[in-house]
Chains A and B, each alone.
Chain A
Amino acid sequence: GAGVSQSPSNKVTEKGKDVELRCDPISGHTALYWYRQRLGQGLEFLIYFQGNSAPDKSGLPSDRFSAERTGESVSTLTIQRTQQEDSAVYLCASSLLAGAGANVLTFGAGSRLTVL
């Protein structure tokens, strides 16, 4: 697509429920990132996918968080047994090539998650 598309744009859930967030990267972008943005905070790196390489999961805050990506297309971020501290905007970004030259990320509009 023309840009990075994320869904849902807003999600309100009850504590303890599971949620799934979706990201459609720009076609042809091999690298895909998930970031978390808490209110008044910077971007917190969660996970990185590059082609068929093993993802870098070093930023996932707990084992309740997981993410998958099929090839170089759609990615889903799953949060199990949500907690109130999971409330944040979850941003997805993709880039054409990582590791060589400037790494220009294109961001989606984000999925705002509110856990009651």
Chain B
Amino acid sequence: GEDVEQSLFLSVREGDSSVINCTYTDSSSTYLYWYKQEPGAGLQLLTYIFSNMDMKQDQRLTVLLNKKDKHLSLRIADTQTGDSAIYFCAESSSAGAGSYQLTFGKGTKLSVIP
């Protein structure tokens, strides 16, 4: 079945850029998402990208998509301590009944060092 892989941990210094990477296997993925989960909270949508786009920028966030390699990344510029959280990559496909399902990775825990 579909699979989404992420590295589990990332540690960066405050003010540096963070890059969180994700790979997926479903070639019919149409949308790819980044969610953020703070301790004790549910997941919050950060951004998403349509599969025919290469890049999407939203303030400090830049999403890059390499559809050929099925690789997605989230770059956070000027990382702040408030960015410390778990970041989940997810994909949805247009394949029939599965179009409403999101497949999530295991999440990358970002730790920001002051």
Contact = CB atoms under 8 A, between A and B. Distances in A.
The prevalent SS among residues of A at the interface is loop
Interface string A103-114: 111111110000
Nearest to B106: A42
Interface in B71-97: 88, 90, 92, 97
B102 interface: yes
Interface residues of A, number: 25
Contacts of A103: 31, 92, 99-100, 102
Given A43-B102, A56-B100, 5 more contacts: A43-B88, A48-B100, A50-B100, A99-B99, A109-B41
Q: Which interface class (under 10, 10 to 19, 20 to 34, 35 or more) fits B? A: 20 to 34
Interface in B1-58: 4, 8, 31, 33, 35, 40-45, 48, 50
Contacts of A104: 45, 48
Interface in A47-74: 48, 50, 56
B101 interface: yes
B99 A98 contact: yes
A108 B42 contact: yes
